[in-house]
Amino acid sequence: MAEKQTPSQTVGPFFAYGLTARQYGYRHPQVADGQISDATADGTAITVVGQVLDGQGVAVGDAMLEIWQADAAGQYPNPSGGGNTGFRGFARVGTGADASQTFRFDTIKPGAVDGRQAPHLNVIVFMRGLLNHCHTRIWFSDEAAANAADPVLASIPEARRGTVIAQRQDTPQGPVYRFDIHMQGDQETVFFDI
């Protein structure tokens, strides 16, 4: 490598006014919130909710999550614009603005990517006590056939695959997928070496 990488450091406990200001009620701009797409985007509207849990199963109230995802056709947004109107593909939320430390993303269900990867969301996890951010993916419980053919899921030991599959619940407001992130323990979420 021509240049040595700058080391990672924790996001710390006080990121909210800098990175997720509007969500926490601070008067400062932020580049993204929990709204990945609006009602004008093509696709099935879904919601993803969950908690980040520490090694004792306690919900973490100072974590931040980012989502990056493809649209309903499996295409990632292009920096030069165009494509699916109303679809941003990117979200960022903290877990501290909700009394139960629950995060929530409103989006559309992504399509299969490259014709061989099952629909999924890319997730980055940050928090105090995390010196390096963690990468995971969210797959969907109602995509059993696509999940069975997904090369990334196939690379995960079978006993751990369940940690990265969000469970669908049907509500009057539409499908809600539950995805808890376990930092440690028997249900420790699979994190990728990215």
Site for another protein in 171-190 (CB under 8 A): 183-184, 188-190
Q: Which of 59, 112, 156, 176 binds another protein (CB under 8 A)?
A: 156
Q: Contact, 178 vs 166, CB < 8 A? A: yes
7 contacts another protein (rule: CB under 8 A): yes
Q: Where does residue 130 fall: left (phi above 0), alpha (psi -120 to 50 degrees), or beta otherwise?
A: beta
Identity of the residue, 74 or 175, whose beta carbon is nearer to another protein in the bound complex: 74
Helices and strands per DSSP (H, E), number in the chain: 4, 9
- Candidates 7-15, 41-49, 99-107, 166-174; binding stretch for another protein (CB under 8 A): 7-15
Cα atoms in the Cβ-side hemisphere of radius 13 Å centred on 183:
22
Identity of the residue, 48 or 183, whose beta carbon is nearer to another protein in the bound complex: 183
Q: Which of 72, 73, 112, 152 binds another protein (CB under 8 A)?
A: 152
Residues in contact with 138: Cβ distance below 8 Å, sequence separation at least 6, in sequence order = 48, 120, 121, 123, 164, 165, 166, 177, 179
Q: What 3-state class would DSSP assign to 41? A: coil
112 contacts another protein (rule: CB under 8 A): no
105 contacts another protein (rule: CB under 8 A): no
Site size for another protein (CB under 8 A): 71
Least Cα distance to 118 among 89, 90, 77, 148 occurs for 148
Helix (H) or strand (E) holding 23: helix 21-24
Cα–Cα distance for residue pair 44/46, rounded to 1 Å = 6
Q: How far is the CB of 151 from another protein (least distance, A)?
A: 5
Identity of the residue, 13 or 174, whose beta carbon is nearer to another protein in the bound complex: 13
- What x-and-dash track marks residues 50-89 binding another protein by CB under 8 A? ----xxx-x-x-x---x-x-------xxxx--------xx
Q: How far is the CB of 186 from another protein (least distance, A)?
A: 11
Q: How far is the CB of 21 from another protein (least distance, A)?
A: 7
